[in-house]
Amino acid sequence: MLILISIILLLITIASMLVIRALRPRFLYHWLIAVGGAFSTWVVMLVAGFQIPLSVPLIEWGSQILLRESPLLLADQVSWPFAFALVTLALAIFLTDAARAAEADWSAWAGTLALAALGIFAVLAGNPLTLLLGWMAIDLAELLILLSQVSKSEMRERVVIAFSARIFGSLLLISAFVVAAAGDETLAFESVPVRASLFLVLAAGLRLGVLPLHVPFFQELPIRRGLGTMSRLVPGAAGLILLVRTAGGLAAPLEFSILIPLLVLAALAGLYGGLAWFLAEDELDGRPAWILAIASLCLAATIMQKPQASLAWALSGLFSGGLLFLTSIRNRRLAWLSLLGLISISALPYTPSWNGVFLFLDPFQPLLSLFLITHALLLAGYARHALQPGPSLLGVERWIWLIYPLGLLLLPLTHFLIGWWILDSPSGFPVLVWILGFVALGLAALLIFIGYKFWDYTSSIHDLLREFLSLNWFYRFLWFTYRYLRRFSAFITSIFEGEGGILWAFLILILLLSVIASGNGGG
């Protein structure tokens, strides 16, 4: 019951904040309640890690005509690291918010806890049905939270577009149920039917923006650093967990005719996401690009049936990305924390992301070299954003000097803990296992040199790619077509509703009869 207790603790914390807000509107210690709830959940989740695998049936269906599986929560070596990452991220957000007085808002903290609870429910899903329920809950909660945080109509439109894209991903997951049922098979993570595997990959890819490459709102929403990071990483984790599960449960490899196109699309998304991340104005502006590039690496590992690599890249995206996104204070004393995040995703030997090199091992496809460039772009962008100047931690109380670095340090420490505890290190003699991380670092250094040497040129290329791949031009064309069709419809309506409408109707009727008569005569 530990995994269920962790979710209940978060919900109790949210309820406590709401009740206190209603009874005592001037209450000033919501931060302590949020930290206490997140820390208690973190401890419970840590204890649960010593007892995995754990499973909790939520409900038993009375009839199995439509669905053969019942909702189930499962904590194992795949799902528990995801859940622990989300709890750690929530706790880190609250601890670092102590240094951001402008973001001291109880509603943002409650929203962070709500997203964390729903994210844990989704990543602990023991079967696709439970994951589908988690997706729907996350999408609805994210929609309500983001709409409450933004006021401009343009930003609200982007939120709705992103929500629509994720709904289509959920529909593809439902299609996987239908395809499996048509073949008299059960859709389960342990054994994914070949017929339904493509639908699962497409469902996760669509929600993450990879398949097809689409950017619902590539410009970051103007919301708080903590809540904004949670609203990006929780839906990302819910999509990445499906890729990892699919990679480990594929009953048979994908056909070559499907594998190559999927790898090409994933590579294009990864290269664009990596370039957009490297050229972003800052780490917050580049959050969508970071998730896109990480998702492309996970997708490639899933296509190649490398669950170890998919899990390693997914966790690196959550931990290292979360660390950089929450680093709002920049000075020399704290620079080593960003360095830990860079090392965590470097794929160097004995780092948590070392399993990511499984992606490039046997069987090797030449297209996989493009993902090495994506990895290098992620490293180059990480170093660039981490080295950017920022505000210093001055004029604050002394206890914040302890709390803020502790919140940041919690992320890489937990990442290394999971990497050494749960993940299996690569073994064997292949030289690639040992040198690929260093190759990626060398490419990243080269990309940084080229980027700064030809910054204006690379920025122009990025702007053109963003304009084309964001499909804004396509949306403008559709809106142009819709607007003129609406005007034409209004014109026709005004003609038939006017005084001469009856005459026009008779004229069209006579023309139709003439066409029919001439057709019969010709026959």
The predicted model gives 323-338 an average pLDDT of 85
Tell me: do 385 and 480 sit in the same domain.
no
At residue 288, the pLDDT reads: 87
How many beta carbons lie within 10 A of that of residue 259, not counting itself? Answer: 16
- Each residue's pLDDT tens digit, 165-202: 788 888 999 998 888 888 777 788 888 888 888 888 88
- Each residue's pLDDT tens digit, 241-289: 999 999 888 767 777 778 888 899 899 889 888 988 988 888 888 888 8
Give burial (CB, 10 Å; 0-12/13-18/19+) of 281.
exposed
Q: Which residue has the higher pLDDT, 126 or 160?
A: 126
Tell me: do 447 and 496 sit in the same domain.
no
At residue 505, the pLDDT reads: 67
Tell me: do 250 and 156 sit in the same domain.
yes
What is the residue-wise DSSP string for 103-155? G--HHHHHHHHHHHHHHHHHHTBSSHHHHHHHHHHHHHHHHHHHHHH---HHH
The predicted model gives 400-417 an average pLDDT of 91
Sequence-ordered list of residues with C-beta below 8 angstroms from that of 521, at least 6 positions apart, any chain: none
Tell me: do 348 and 481 sit in the same domain.
no
Tell me: do 290 and 328 sit in the same domain.
yes
Counting the structural domains of the chain, the total is 2
Q: What is the mean pLDDT of the chain?
A: 83
Tracing tokens 């939270």 back to the chain, one arrives at 145
Sequence-ordered list of residues with C-beta below 8 angstroms from that of 350, at least 6 positions apart, any chain: 425
Residue 375 in this model has a pLDDT that exceeds 60: yes
At residue 523, the pLDDT reads: 45
Segments forming the whole domain that contains residue 506: 475-522
Q: Which residue has the higher pLDDT, 362 or 34?
A: 34
Residue 463 in this model has a pLDDT that exceeds 70: no
Take residue 504 and report the two structure tokens written for it. Answer: 């026009």
Of 299-313, 382-396, 447-461, the range with the lowest mean pLDDT is 447-461
Q: 221 pLDDT band (50/70/90 cuts)?
A: low
Domain end (from 444, 470, 496): 470
Domain end (from 427, 446, 470): 470
Q: Which residue has the higher pLDDT, 294 or 474?
A: 294
Residue 62 in this model has a pLDDT that exceeds 60: no
Tell me: do 464 and 504 sit in the same domain.
no
At residue 329, the pLDDT reads: 80
Tracing tokens 């460039």 back to the chain, one arrives at 373
Of 197-206, 347-356, 433-442, 459-468, the range with the lowest mean pLDDT is 459-468
Tell me: do 268 and 291 sit in the same domain.
yes
Sequence-ordered list of residues with C-beta below 8 angstroms from that of 449, at least 6 positions apart, any chain: none
Tell me: do 386 and 497 sit in the same domain.
no
At residue 228, the pLDDT reads: 85
The predicted model gives 372-391 an average pLDDT of 90
Residue 40 in this model has a pLDDT that exceeds 90: yes
- Each residue's pLDDT tens digit, 101-128: 766 788 889 999 999 999 999 999 998 9
Q: 300 pLDDT band (50/70/90 cuts)?
A: very high
Q: Residue 507 half-sphere exposure, CB side, CA atoms within 13 Å?
A: 7
d(Cα 119, Cα 102) in Å, to the nearest integer? 26
Tell me: do 458 and 484 sit in the same domain.
no
The predicted model gives 65-94 an average pLDDT of 88
Tell me: do 433 and 482 sit in the same domain.
no
Tell me: do 493 and 393 sit in the same domain.
no
pTM of the model: 0.85
At residue 258, the pLDDT reads: 82
Residue 495 in this model has a pLDDT that exceeds 80: no
Tell me: do 396 and 514 sit in the same domain.
no
